[in-house]
Amino acid sequence: MKKRIFKYYFILIFLVLLLSMFFTSMIAQKYYKAEVENKLKSIAFSLEYLLQETPTDTSLDYENLARDYVKRHNANSEPSGEKLRITFIDFSGKVLGDSEANFREMENHLDRKEILEAIEGSIGTDIRVSKTVNTDFLYVAFPFRQQQVIIRASVPLIQINKINDMVRFYSLLTFLAALLLTGLISLRITTSITRPLNDLILASKEIANGNYSKKIKVNSADELGQLASYFNEMGSKLDATMTDLHNKKIELESIVDSMTNGLVAVDNDLRMILINPIAYKLFAINEDQEIIGSKITHHIRNNEINKILRETIELNKLLECDVTMGNKILHISTSPIRSMKRSGSNSGGIVFIQDITKVRKLEQLRTEFVSNVTHELKTPITSIRGFIETLKNGAINNEKVANRFLEIIDIEADRLYALIEDILQLSEIESKQKDNDLENLSTSALVDEVFEILQPLADEKEIILQYCAKDELFIKANKNRMKQLFLNLVDNGIKYNKLHGSVNITGIYEKGKIKISVKDTGIGIPAEHLTRIFERFYRVDKGRSRDMGGTGLGISIVKHIVHLYSGNITVNSEVDKGTEFIIELPC
Ligand code: ADP
C-alpha cells in the first residue's frame, strides 16, 4: 500500500516537473529569442540610419561597413560570446558585403526565408542551424528600399543551451527536493490511511479466528472512521449471532445426546451430518472414528435402513421398519429434513432408532408365560373335571373309588391353588421396584421357622436340616419375602434329596455382603439345565416335579426376591452328589 502510494506520488511529481521543465524552457527560449530579435532589429535600424547618412552617388564598401560596425559593436558590448554578424544583400539575393566571410565567395541568398520576407517588405526573421558552427542562428533582415539593399544582422543563439542547462539544473534540484518532500508527505498520508486499514486487517483476522468481540478504535469521522464504526457494528452483530448459534447448537447437541433413542441425520447425498452417542452404540460404530461427512452406507451396513432413508428423502414420506442387527431388534423410523430453499426438495433425512430388543423379548416372555400358565392350569383342571365326570357317571356309588377320586381331586385342587399362589406372588414381586415393611431379620430365627414348617416333610425321608453360622446374621428385608425364599430352597433341598440326606444352611459376612449357602446332598442337576432352572416353569424332570407337587416357579420366585434386594444368586450342582444355592445380599 505504502509503496503504491509513494509510486503514484513519484510519477505525478515527475510528470509535473517534466511538464514544468518543458514549459519553463520554452518560455525562457521565447523571451531570449524575442530579446535577441529586438537587439538585432535595433542594430538593423542603426545600420539603416548609417546608410541614409552615406551619399548615394559613391559606391559603398559594404564589407568595410559591416566589419567596422561589428568591430565597434563588439568593443562596446560585454563579451557574451554572441558574435554579431552583419551581411548586406541586394534585392536579387547577391551578397554585397559580410562582416565575417568573403562576400564574393558567398552564394546567392534569395532562397533564405528572412531575405524573401524582407524583399516582400516586412522585417524578415529566421532561426537556422549554421552548418559551419552547428549552432542555431537568429537572422533578422531589414529592407532598405532607398538603396535597394537588405541589412541582415545575425547572432548565434548560444545562450539557449545555457538556458536549457540552467532549466535542467534547477529542475533536477526541484525534483530532488520534491522527491524528499514526496517521501515525507506520502509517508504521512500512507500512515494515516494504512494504520486504520492495518487495524481493520488485524481485527478481521481475529474475527476469522473466532474472536468476534474484537473492536477497532474509531479515531476520525472520515470514510475510514465510518468504515471502522460499521466494522465494529458488524462485529457486534456477528458476535451476538454466533453466540446465539453456539447456544442453540449446544442446546441441540445436549437434547440429541440425552435422547434415549438413536438419531442420525444425513444430507441429500446420504452423508452424515449428525449422530448421537446412542446411535454410535446401536450400530456398533467406534466413537473415536470421525464419521461426519462420510456416507451413512459405509457405517450402517443394512440395506433395509439405507433403502427407506433414500425413499424418505426422495418421496418426502415418513417410513418405518423393524430390523435385526446382530442380537438386537431395532425399530427404525425415517423422516425427511425440510429444505430452506424454495425448490421444494428435501435437504436430507433423519433416522430414529429405537432398541426394541427388550420389548420384543418381554412380549415373547409374556406370550410364553401365558401359554405356560394356561398349560399348567389346564392339567389339574382337566384332571379334576375328568374325575368329577367319572363320579357323576356312577363312580360316586362306589364309596372306596369315590373317596379315592375325591382325594385326587383335592390334591389337584391344592396344586391349582399352589400354582395360582405362586403366579400371583411372582407377578407381585415383578411389579415391585422396592419392597416395603422392611425389618432387621435374624437369619437363624427365620431359618428356625422354616425348618419347623418343613420338618415333617424332612422326617418322611429322614433328612437332617441344619443351620450353621459363626456370627448372628441380620438381613434388612420383608419377613414374609425372606421366609418364602428359604421355604422354596429348603423345600427343594428336601424334595430332590435322597433318603437319610441332609440340607445345610450356612451364613457369613463376606466383603461387606451376607453370603448364605443352602446345600443339599440330593440328586443334583445336570450341567446343561443349570442356567435354565431360574426360568419360569422350567423343570429338569417334569413328572418328578409334578409328583412332588412342584409348580416350576419356586426357583424363579427366589431369583426375583434376591434381585428385588439387589442381590445375586448362583447355583453349583453335581449329579447324585447334591446342589448348592449361594445367595449374596447387601448388608
Ligand atoms: P419345582 O416346583 O418343580 O420344584 P422349582 O422352580 O422350585 O420348581 O425348581 C425348578 C427345577 O429345578 C425343579 O423342577 C428341579 O428339577 C430343579 N431343582 C430345584 N432345586 C433343586 C435341588 N435342590 N436339587 C435338584 N434339583 C432341583
Return the best residue to mutate from 529, 539, 546, 579 for the ligand 1 pocket (most ligand atoms within 8 A of CB): 539
Atom of ligand 1 nearest to the CA of 541: 16
Q: What's the 254 CA to ligand 1 centre distance in angstroms?
A: 50
Mapping DSSP to helix (H, G, I), strand (E, B) and coil, where does residue 287 land?
coil
- Residue whose CA is at the smallest distance from ligand 1 atom 4: 550
Give pLDDT tens digits for 183-229: 788 788 778 777 878 888 888 888 888 887 788 887 778 888 888 88
The mean pLDDT value for 379-399 works out to 92
Other C-beta atoms within 10 Å of 345: how many?
13
In the predicted model, is pLDDT for residue 295 greater than 60? Answer: yes
Q: What's the 485 CA to ligand 1 centre distance in angstroms?
A: 13
pLDDT at 81: 65
Q: What's the 475 CA to ligand 1 centre distance in angstroms?
A: 25
- Residue whose CA is at the smallest distance from ligand 1 atom 21: 492
- Residue whose CA is at the smallest distance from ligand 1 atom 7: 554
Q: What's the 558 CA to ligand 1 centre distance in angstroms?
A: 11
* Torsional class of 230: left (φ above 0), alpha (ψ -120 to 50), beta (otherwise): alpha
The mean pLDDT value for 540-556 works out to 86
Residues having CB closer than 6 A to ligand 1 are: 488, 492-493, 496, 520, 522-523, 525, 533, 538-541, 545, 550-556, 579
- What HEC string does 363-412 produce? HHHHHHHHHHHHHHHHHHHHHHHHHHHHHHCCHHHCHHHHHHHHHHHHHH
**Sign of the dihedral through C-alpha 76, 80, 81, 85:** negative
Asked if 174 contacts 18 with a C-beta cutoff of 8 angstroms, the reply is: no
* Cα–Cα dist 452/567, whole Å: 26
In the predicted model, is pLDDT for residue 57 greater than 70? Answer: no
Atom of ligand 1 nearest to the CA of 493: 23
Q: What's the 472 CA to ligand 1 centre distance in angstroms?
A: 29
In the predicted model, is pLDDT for residue 65 greater than 70? Answer: yes
In the predicted model, is pLDDT for residue 159 greater than 80? Answer: no
Taken in order of first residue, the domains within the chain and their CATH numbers are 2-162 (3.30.450.20), 210-251 (no CATH), 259-355 (3.30.450.20), 361-431 (1.10.287.130), 438-586 (3.30.565.10)
Give pLDDT tens digits for 222-276: 888 888 888 888 888 988 998 899 999 999 889 988 999 999 999 989 999 999 9
* Torsional class of 151: left (φ above 0), alpha (ψ -120 to 50), beta (otherwise): beta
pLDDT at 80: 61
C-alpha cell at 172: 533536477
Atom of ligand 1 nearest to the CA of 549: 2
- Residue whose CA is at the smallest distance from ligand 1 atom 23: 493
Q: What's the 534 CA to ligand 1 centre distance in angstroms?
A: 9
- Residue whose CA is at the smallest distance from ligand 1 atom 2: 550
Give pLDDT tens digits for 305-345: 999 999 999 988 899 999 998 889 999 999 998 876 666 67
Strands 568-574, 262-267: pairing kind:
unpaired
- Residue whose CA is at the smallest distance from ligand 1 atom 16: 540
Atom of ligand 1 nearest to the CA of 540: 16
Average pLDDT, the chain: 88
The mean pLDDT value for 299-305 works out to 89
Q: What's the 525 CA to ligand 1 centre distance in angstroms?
A: 8
* Cα–Cα dist 443/494, whole Å: 20
Atom of ligand 1 nearest to the CA of 518: 23
Give pLDDT tens digits for 440-481: 999 999 999 999 999 999 999 999 999 999 888 999 999 999
Q: What's the 541 CA to ligand 1 centre distance in angstroms?
A: 9
Return the best residue to mutate from 372, 417, 492, 538 for the ligand 1 pocket (most ligand atoms within 8 A of CB): 492
Q: Burial, 79: exposed, middle or buried (Cβ in 10 Å; 0-12, 13-18, 19+)?
A: exposed
Please give the full DSSP string across 421-489, using - where no structure is assigned.
Answer: HHHHHHHHHHT-SS--SEEEEEHHHHHHHHHHHHHHHHHHTT-EEEEEESS--EEEEEHHHHHHHHHHH
Other C-beta atoms within 10 Å of 283: how many?
22
The mean pLDDT value for 114-140 works out to 84
**280: CB partners within 8 A, 6+ apart:** 286, 287
- Residue whose CA is at the smallest distance from ligand 1 atom 18: 492
pLDDT at 133: 60
- Residue whose CA is at the smallest distance from ligand 1 atom 8: 552
pLDDT at 226: 86
C-alpha cell at 490: 429348603
In the predicted model, is pLDDT for residue 16 greater than 90? Answer: no
The residues that bridge with 337 in the sheet, in sequence order, are 348
Return the best residue to mutate from 545, 547, 557 for the ligand 1 pocket (most ligand atoms within 8 A of CB): 545
pLDDT at 494: 96
Atom of ligand 1 nearest to the CA of 550: 2
199 phi and psi, to 5 degrees? -60, -40
Asked if 498 contacts 523 with a C-beta cutoff of 8 angstroms, the reply is: yes
Task: Flag whether the pTM goes above 0.85.
Answer: no
Atom of ligand 1 nearest to the CA of 546: 3
Among the listed residues 230, 222, 241, the one whose alpha carbon sits nearest the alpha carbon of residue 204? 230
Secondary-structure percent of the chain, ordered helix, strand, coil, rounded to 5: 55, 20, 25
The residues that bridge with 466 in the sheet, in sequence order, are 504
Pairwise pLDDT comparison (451 vs 17), residue with the higher score = 451
Among the listed residues 144, 124, 192, 129, the one whose alpha carbon sits nearest the alpha carbon of residue 48? 144
Q: What's the 114 CA to ligand 1 centre distance in angstroms?
A: 151
Angle, nearest 10°, between helix axes 399-430 and 554-564?
20
The mean pLDDT value for 355-361 works out to 92
Confidence of residue 432 (pLDDT cuts 50, 70, 90): confident
- Residue whose CA is at the smallest distance from ligand 1 atom 14: 539
Q: What's the 492 CA to ligand 1 centre distance in angstroms?
A: 6
Return the best residue to mutate from 426, 496, 560 for the ligand 1 pocket (most ligand atoms within 8 A of CB): 496
Return the best residue to mutate from 376, 519, 525 for the ligand 1 pocket (most ligand atoms within 8 A of CB): 525
Cα 56-57-62 angle, rounded to 5 deg: 60
